[in-house]
Structure 1
Amino acid sequence: MLFMTFYYRLPGIISVISLALYISFTLALFKFVGVTLTLAGIAGFVLSVGMAVDANVLIFERLKEELKSGKSLKTATEEGFIRAWSSIRDGNVSTLITCVLLILLGTSFVKGFAITLGIGILVSLFTAITVTRVLLRYVSPWFQEKGNVLFLGHESTKDKQ
């Protein structure tokens, strides 16, 4: 999370907030469903946190690409999410398919891993696409007024004309 803050600046802070909410939602869901966190379950949870970070990295890299191409901050934000969605979806769906197979065919030790990973992936999809997007939309108008500098050194020139 420290890396995200230093490398992406404000979007990194948004990512940290989104990831904190992700961890809170996931642990609350574990409690609600009655998941017991064994060593395998903790491993599944840690892996799902890594995939949540990966989703945010994909979104922010696409956003940076859109800003570099000269798009406005608002357009770049929407296009960044659209362009990142297919990679996020494909990676998470393939992981969920693997989780289902592990639940159906695995031992109880493996099932605990698969259940926590599956729950974590589902919550990750929600927080990466919904929470991060809402937070970026919330701060974007402020940065639009300040010259579209959301990432240090990446400024869109479209709206300045």
Structure 2
Amino acid sequence: MPDPPFPVPPGGLAPGPLRIDAEFAAAATGRPLPETAEELRAVLLAAAAELGLAVVEADLRVTDLLEEAPAPEPAAPPPGRAAPVTDDPVAEAVLLVPGVAAVTDVLGPPVHRAGGAVRVEFAVAAEHPPAEVARAAHAAAAAAAPEGAAVTVLITEVR
């Protein structure tokens, strides 16, 4: 496989099949632990498939047994960073895509150009499916990029 035009982001994996390795605590509900683990595995694999990830295995370990299930707590939205200012036509095209909350500059400028490649990074609005937004953002970026450019989109946060 040829090297990608951009390095893999920090914490990212090279393209290819993925494996989920996770630990969880289970409440003593009278259900056998293997059933609970299998239900969690199915949820994780379904979420990965919805995101378009090629997950080949989900290895789960029970690390704690709880007397009762904890009450669900609503997750607080992460604090949003100020969006960088850019007048790049690729960034402007991506910002018009429904579900794109902002362009970001986590790994450098919002639009990075190297050789014949263009990478644009952005935040997705929490209420939109990231995989759908990424596909639409890729199409918008490709339409605005120079003809023949290899276009990569990178979701760096969910807001």
TM-score by length of 1: 0.25
Structure with the higher strand share, 1 or 2: 2
TM-score when normalising by structure 2: 0.26
